[in-house]
Structure 1
Amino acid sequence: MDKQQMIESIRSGMPERRWQHVQGVISTAIVLAKRFGADPDKAELAAILHDLAKYWPVDRMEEAIREEGADLGILSYDKELWHAPAGAYISRRDYGVTDIEVLDSVRYHTSGRAGMTLLDKVVCLADYMEPGRDFPGVDGIRELAETDLDAALRAGFDSTIRFLLEKGKVIYPLTLAARNDLIRNP
């Protein structure tokens, strides 16, 4: 399957508004990759794939996660996280993506993780701050991203954690690990 076929297939599985978000993530990921020295082609591919399972029914996401068998623990956390590992698995199974760096960037784009690669950081931050995002603090994150990828990503995780605390939600451990790792290993 070539890139255009992949794009058409992924686009057909989501509302137009979500596809606009994906396009924003693609353009932002390429800019961030070039700015901070990541591979822009890998960043583009991961951005194309990152939300491919976002609008799947939860039982279909769960089935993909169980079929892969790698991260079953995520099933006990918020279903909003499930599309990332499901998408990584489907990227490999159905779209033939074999680059582990791209697959991991899809897998961890919502949660982060300790020891994030440069590509993980680029894709995660691009998803967080693409031009269509509008929430308190996003402009400050965009400003940080002009010069400091890690500081911008930390600010994004801080914002997410604050939001989850205010809503009384459970915080996924990988998100805390990602934030803490960015502080410990600047």
Structure 2
Amino acid sequence: METSKALRIVKPHLTSARYEHTERVMETAVHLAKLYGSNEEKAAIAAVFHDYAKYRNLDEMKKWILSSYLPKDLLHYHHELWHGPVGSLLVEREHGIIDPEIKDAIYYHTTGRAHMSTLEKVLFVADYIEPGRSFSGLEEVRDTANRNLDKAAWLVSRNTIQFLMGKENTIYPDTFHAYNDLTNKLSGGN
């Protein structure tokens, strides 16, 4: 699928601000894919569709979780986590995107997971560092992303865990698994 077609598909499903975010994530993901030898076309498509389900009705997303292969434990965590897995399912069902690398990048773009592929890390980091974002600690991640993708993904995981703990929110296990896996990788543990 061409990027221009993908952008036309997602635009009606997003707010104007979210669409602009999506364009910036796409540009950032393509930059990182080029830098780290990942497929740039796949990075662009995964980035365009990463928030495809973000504004779906919560009851609809819950129905998709309950009636599909998606893990039911998602329902025990904040609904902000649902749009990645549901989006991964919907891009296949509604648009025929079956590439497992693209679907996994969409699925895990919010939580991360252990043993992320390069494409998954590219989208995970790109969504966090795109130029429209502004919050404490972001510049460190942006600088690191241009030197070491694993370290940047580790920083995203660490910062996300710290942020959620500071708000006393639950944290989906995949985020801990991503952090632990990347910690071991960076320290030479595996």
Determine if the TM-score, normalized by the shorter chain, exceeds 0.5: yes
Instruction: Tell me which residue corresponds to 1:18.
Output: 18
Return 28-37 or 7-16, whichever deviates more. 7-16
Whether contact under 8 Å (2:3, 2:48) holds in the other structure is: no
Amino acid corresponding to residue 62 of structure 1 in structure 2: K
Unpaired runs of 5+ residues, structure 2, are none
C-alpha distance in 2 between matches for 1:31 and 1:4: 17
Alpha-carbon distance, 1:67 to partner: 2.8
The amino acid that maps onto 1:120 is: E
Matches within 5 A, 1:105-144: 105-144=105-144
**Which runs of structure 2 are paired with 1:57-136 in the superposition (5 Å)?**
57-136=57-136
RMSD over aligned CA atoms reads: 1.2
1:106-141 deviations in Å (ceiling 9; x for gaps): 000000011101100001100011001111011110
Q: Aligned partners of 2:106 and 2:87: how far apart in 1? A: 7
User: TM-score w.r.t. structure 2 length?
Assistant: 0.94
- Residue matched to 2:48: 48
CA distance in 1, matches of 2:55, 2:98: 23
> Take 2:103 and 2:45, find their aligned partners in 1: how far apart are those partners?
10
Contact 2:74-2:82 within 8 A present in 1 as well: yes
Percentage identity across aligned positions?
A: 39
Q: Is the 8 A contact 2:24 2:130 kept in 1?
A: yes
Please report the TM-score for the alignment, with normalisation by the length of structure 1.
0.96
Question: How many residues matched?
Answer: 186
Conserved 8 A contact 2:88-2:104: yes
2-structure distance, mates of 1:50, 1:12: 14
Contact 2:112/2:178 (8 A) holds in 1: yes
Indicate the residue corresponding to 1:181 in structure 2.
Answer: 181
Counterpart contact for 2:6–2:45, Cα < 8 Å: no
Q: Judge which range, 15-24 or 60-69, deviates more.
A: 60-69
> Letter of the aligned partner of 1:119 in structure 2?
L
Structure-1 separation of matches of 2:160 and 2:181: 16
Q: Once the 2 structures are TM-superposed, how far is the Cα of residue 2 of structure 1 from its aligned partner?
A: 5.7
Where does structure 1 differ by over 4 angstroms across 4 or more consecutive aligned residues? none
